[in-house]
Amino acid sequence: MKTVADIMTPAPIVVEVPGSRSDAINTMVRNKLTGLPVVRASDGMLMGVVSRRDIFRKFDEDQLSLIMKKGCITVSPDATVEEVARIFSEMRIHRLPVVDEGKLVGIITPTDLLRLIKDMKTDLLAEDVIRTTCVTAFEDEPLTYTIPAMRVSDVSALPVLDAHGKLVGIITDRDLFSDQVKDPEALKELGISDDANLAGFRNVLPLFYSATDKYMADDRTVKDFMVRNPTTVFKKTNLAEVAKMMVINDFGQIPVHGTKDELIGMIYDVDVLCALSGNLNE
């Protein structure tokens, strides 16, 4: 039976407290990450975790200690992958620090477990693990409406429908950043110091626009930013195949369609982990 030690990322990249919002953003950008463990500078003790969503939910805060999630759930290197899958699935979180004798030794994410599921045999299908209400967007609605709706619904992706209710796209927090938007003043306000490194900006900048709305023109609509003709899965698709698609394409979610190509829901990476945890009804 595999354990956390077998699949975790050892010696993870961290950010320290005392520290600032800019410290966390710069570290995420440089390393193309969406979240980090937070450790105390004096002794390396784990103090919490911080994600891009945490930062932009509290965008007016500058002190990292006031932004990060404290008292985060941790796991030991000896925990089984089934135990960890259950935590991810039940709590719907996306990173777990691995702690051994009080010291941070690694980090594990749903993607680490998806790599196992894609090669396993399971009878579970996509329709078996849809567990959240599917919030949708209309392709012609203004982003000034969609962005607050994403915040209120606490989702990072919305399937996009046309006037006939047909799925025509998907919009995620990453899509809200256009490669044409490279406003130096916006980057300065974010605290991003490495102006030459644009590779990681897609991990961080979208939530800046979502949090402030101030750089979003009133005439921009969902269809200006959405990914058209998104990848979908049929409701009878085996979970191993869903996991494979997520790993290969770096997807955190995929729309699910029925026999008539109608949208029936969204399946998220933490839902697919039910193939390991077995907690379908929780």
Domains of the chain and CATH, by start: 4-117 (3.10.580.10), 127-277 (3.10.580.10)
Cis peptide before 18 (omega within 30 of 0): yes
Q: Are 27 and 13 in contact (CB under 8 A)?
A: yes
- Token readout for 95 is 């990173």
CA dist., res. 75 & res. 195, Å (int): 37
* pLDDT tens track for 222-238: 998 889 999 999 999 99
192 pLDDT above the threshold of 60? no
Phi-psi region of 250 (alpha: psi -120 to 50; beta: other; left: phi over 0): left
> Looking at residue 150, what is its pLDDT?
80
Tell me the chain's radius of gyration from C-alpha atoms.
Answer: 19
Q: Between the CA of residue 212 and those of 99, 186, 206, 221, what are the distances in Å?
A: 36, 11, 10, 17
* DSSP H or E run through 133: none
Average pLDDT over residues 188-214: 52
* pLDDT tens track for 82-112: 999 999 999 999 999 999 988 899 999 999 9
137 pLDDT above the threshold of 70? yes
Q: Are 91 and 75 in contact (CB under 8 A)?
A: no
pTM for the complete prediction? 0.82
Q: Are 30 and 24 in contact (CB under 8 A)?
A: no
Q: Sheet containing 46-51: give its strands across.
A: 15-17, 35-40, 46-51, 69-70
* pLDDT tens track for 148-162: 788 778 787 899 999
> Where does the pLDDT of residue 203 fall: very low under 50, low under 70, confident under 90, or very high at 90 and above?
low
Q: Between the CA of residue 239 and those of 60, 126, 163, 245, what are the distances in Å?
A: 41, 6, 31, 10
21 pLDDT above the threshold of 90? no
Percentage, residues of the chain above pLDDT 90: 56
Q: Where does the chain have alpha helices with state H?
A: 4-7, 21-31, 52-57, 64-67, 81-91, 110-117, 143-153, 184-190, 201-212, 222-225, 239-249, 269-272, 274-277
Helix (H, G, I), strand (E, B) or coil at 75: strand
118 pLDDT above the threshold of 80? yes
Average pLDDT over residues 53-58: 77
261 pLDDT above the threshold of 70? yes
> Looking at residue 164, what is its pLDDT?
93
